[in-house]
């Protein structure tokens, strides 16, 4: 039994060695066959333009936003709305809201104002009548004083008792005159205060009437400059989910105060609003040149520059940021909302080694290319210097060397019918 085991063990080892050698030869053959059909290119040395490509929509750079007025009431209902893309001139009506509630409030305020005016007029008339009555009493009192003074002047000629009575009557007349003068001033101040209260109440009612009139006027949105109408999306919905396309406003929709209903872009000042990846932001800066291709205007390239960059938004796995590109040479055929493709030049690198972007691979923290060695391609580590949409600038290679544009392992796996996901990358 022991002798039998000693004979079988070498045979098993020999068979395993033969199978390993056969698999290795098979891998070499498949790799060589794949290398023969593998697309490749050479490493080049030249000046490289680094650019960022993004998609966006045309907007007016100095757009006029027409929003629902802050009327202080509930939601507003659109009664009239221009069609999207319709041309308007300065002063033209773009949208109107239903004014039934505000018109009722105006009629009530006007009725209250008319009543307040009557109350002010009545208070003023009463005040004038009282003042006239007080003036008559004052004149009578002054006459009494003068008459009493005349009587007292006869004192040396009349009896002593009559003289004393005359003096008393004079003192009484003077007291009554003084009291009337004081009462007149008090009643005048009181009457003036009463009229002032009525005037204040009337002004309050007039303010409410003016407010209702202003609300009605503000519920008609007019264009302040000529341009095309761009209808805004209706965000006044109960449920909003990611990827949901919101409908534009239309007649009959309910609008909250302050919501943007329409936009009038400035046709002489166009911008492209784009969203680019967060990784591109570090390469972009205001003033960088851009080329804009508008989908609806084929065969024409517009030129512009980065105007501003906004904040970053989105989930952590897909961060994007807003960027506005101004157009230096707009044309009359441009319209709001047109789709555009923007290529932003972020810089140039002179005398750079570069390969096409698809020739660079990354895995497990490594950056490498498949460099041709004999009849096969082997991974070779490189250092990435800069990357654009179509080119990568790197070091670690020489000009003229041949690199693969696809993974040899995946190419071989496709030919053998296997899954490329199971192919391990060979160590460089």
Task: Tell me the pLDDT of the chain (428 aa) as tens digits.
Answer: 445 455 556 666 667 666 666 555 555 555 545 455 788 899 999 988 888 888 888 877 677 888 888 876 667 888 899 988 788 888 899 999 888 877 777 788 777 777 777 777 777 777 777 776 667 666 676 676 666 666 566 555 555 556 556 566 667 766 676 766 666 766 677 767 667 777 777 777 778 777 778 888 888 889 888 878 888 888 876 666 666 677 888 888 888 888 888 888 777 778 888 888 777 777 788 888 899 999 988 889 999 999 888 777 767 777 778 888 999 888 888 877 788 999 988 888 888 899 998 889 988 888 999 999 888 888 999 998 888 777 889 898 989 999 998 888 777 666 665 544 334 444 44
SS3 content of the chain, % helix, strand, coil (to 5): 40, 30, 30
Task: Name 336's Cβ contacts closer than 8 Å, sequence gap at least 6.
Answer: 58, 59, 60, 85, 228, 230, 263, 265
Q: Look up residue 337 and give its two tokens.
A: 């909302």
CA-based nearest residue to 216, from 297, 98, 130: 98
Query: In degrees rounded to 5, what are phi and psi of residue 406?
Result: -150, 165
Q: How far is CA 81 from CA 175, 391, 408, in A?
A: 78, 49, 61
Helices (H), 158-277: 160-218
CA-based nearest residue to 346, from 414, 287, 402: 287
CA pair distance 173, 149, nearest whole angstrom? 10
Q: What b/e sequence results for 253-268 when a residue is b if at least 16 CB atoms lie within 10 Å of its CB, and e otherwise?
A: bebeeebbbbbbbbbe
Q: Look up residue 176 and give its two tokens.
A: 């009554």
Q: Look up residue 422 and give its two tokens.
A: 């199971």
Tell me, rounded to whole angstroms, the distance of Cα 239 from its chain centroid: 21
List the beta strands (DSSP E) in 227-300: 227-228, 230-231, 254-255, 260-264, 270-277, 289-294
Q: How far is CA 363 from CA 183, 360, 382, 418, in A?
A: 103, 10, 12, 20
Please report the pLDDT score of residue 117 as a whole number. Answer: 79
CA pair distance 138, 186, nearest whole angstrom? 14
Q: How far is CA 385 from CA 18, 342, 358, 362, in A?
A: 45, 24, 15, 14
pTM metric for this prediction: 0.49
Rg (CA), the chain: 47
CATH for 53-59+266-348 is 2.40.30.170
Q: Report yes or no: 66 and 261 within 8 Å, Cβ to Cβ.
A: yes
CATH for 64-98+220-264 is 2.40.50.100
Q: Where are the domains of the chain?
A: 53-59+266-348, 64-98+220-264, 101-218
Q: Report yes or no: 356 and 390 within 8 Å, Cβ to Cβ.
A: yes
Q: Look up residue 253 and give its two tokens.
A: 């929709």
CA pair distance 237, 216, nearest whole angstrom? 26
């Amino acid at each position: 039994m022991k002798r039998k085991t000693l004979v079988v063990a070498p045979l098993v080892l020999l068979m395993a060695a033969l199978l390993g050698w056969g698999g290795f030869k098979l891998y070499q053959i498949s790799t060589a066959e794949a290398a023969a059909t593998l697309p490749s290119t050479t490493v080049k040395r030249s000046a490289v333009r680094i650019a960022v490509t993004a998609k966006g929509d045309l907007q007016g750079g100095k757009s006029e936003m027409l929003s629902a007025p802050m009327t202080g009431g509930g939601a507003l209902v659109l009664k009239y709305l221009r069609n999207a893309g319709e041309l308007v001139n300065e002063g033209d009506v773009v949208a109107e809201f239903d004014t039934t509630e505000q018109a009722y409030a105006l009629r009530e305020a006007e009725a209250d104002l008319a009543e307040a005016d009557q109350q002010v007029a009545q208070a003023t008339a009463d005040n004038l009548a009282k003042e006239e009555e007080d003036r008559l009493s004052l004149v009578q009192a002054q006459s009494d004083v003068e008459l009493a003074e005349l009587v007292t002047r006869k004192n040396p000629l009349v009896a002593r008792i009559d003289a004393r009575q005359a003096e008393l009557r004079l003192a009484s007349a003077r007291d009554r005159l003084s009291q009337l003068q004081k009462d007149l001033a008090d009643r005048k101040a009181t009457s003036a205060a009463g009229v002032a209260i009525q005037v204040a109440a009337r002004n309050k009612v007039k303010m409410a009437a003016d407010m209702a009139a202003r609300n009605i006027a503000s519920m008609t949105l007019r264009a302040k400059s000529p341009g095309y109408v761009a209808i805004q999306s209706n965000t006044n919905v109960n449920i909003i989910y990611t990827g949901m396309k919101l409908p534009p406003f239309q007649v009959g929709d309910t609008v909250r105060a302050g919501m943007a209903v329409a936009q009038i872009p400035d046709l002489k000042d166009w911008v492209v609003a784009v969203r680019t990846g967060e990784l591109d932001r570090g390469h972009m800066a205001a003033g960088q040149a851009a080329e804009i291709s508008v989908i609806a205007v084929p065969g024409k390239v517009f030129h512009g520059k980065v105007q501003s960059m906004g904040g970053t938004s989105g989930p952590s796995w897909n961060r994007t940021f807003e960027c506005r590109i101004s157009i230096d040479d707009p044309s009359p055929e441009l319209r709001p909302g047109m789709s555009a493709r923007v290529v932003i030049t972020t810089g140039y690198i002179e005398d750079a080694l570069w390969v096409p972007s698809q020739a660079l691979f990354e895995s497990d923290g490594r950056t490498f290319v498949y460099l041709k060695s004999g009849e096969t391609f082997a991974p070779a580590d490189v250092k990435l210097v800069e990357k654009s949409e179509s080119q990568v600038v790197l070091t670690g290679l020489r000009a003229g060397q041949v690199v693969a544009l696809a993974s040899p392992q995946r190419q071989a796996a496709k030919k053998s019918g296997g899954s490329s996901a199971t192919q391990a990358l060979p160590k460089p």
